[in-house]
Amino acid sequence: MFWTWKFEEDRDNAAAVAEMVEEITTIGFRYMEEICTLEKICERLAIDRHFIMGNDVHQLPVGYMMLGRFDEGEKIVRDHLSKIEAEKGPTVEQLEAKYGKLDPIVLAECQKYEHQPIPYVVNYRRFAERFFRRLEEERSRVQG
């Protein structure tokens, strides 16, 4: 759970500060102590997919690699690559269904990118390439 505290310029924010400090000392420190090791962070990421949204397919594999749990990290990345591999940019028909008839200039721009991989897919592929290179280095180092 995330809390926010609002601080305003030219106002006495002592009450908000006191509340924030109280929450951190009563709940925050206990929580930090509960997940203060890499093993515990990985356990939490694996159990609670919304712990830090999306990090289960980025940070969790890296954490597993750092723990020497190479196969588990590799499986997460390969499974996620398989899941996103077919994701492409929206078709003109999908965009028009959502937004209505497109302006001709917008339509021309959309057609340039239609059926192209969405940026997240491209970025995750780059992440996966770097991850697999490093994974092989780590496996070799541990076996060597």
* pLDDT tens-digit map of 16-32: 899 989 988 888 888 78
In a domain, 135, yes or no: yes
For 44, the token pair is 């939490």
In a domain, 8, yes or no: no
State the residue range of the domain holding 124. Answer: 14-143
In a domain, 40, yes or no: yes
Q: Which amino acid is at 33?
A: E
In a domain, 30, yes or no: yes
List, for the chain, all residue ranges whose pLDDT scores fall below the cut of 50.
Answer: none
State the Cα–Cα distance between residues 27 and 98, nearest whole angstrom: 43
In a domain, 4, yes or no: no
State the Cα–Cα distance between residues 27 and 45, nearest whole angstrom: 19
In a domain, 7, yes or no: no
Angle between helices 70-84 and 59-66 (to 10 degrees): 160
Whole-model pTM: value is: 0.64
The SS3 assignment for 89 reads coil
State the Cα–Cα distance between residues 29 and 31, nearest whole angstrom: 5
In a domain, 78, yes or no: yes
Number of domains in the chain: 1
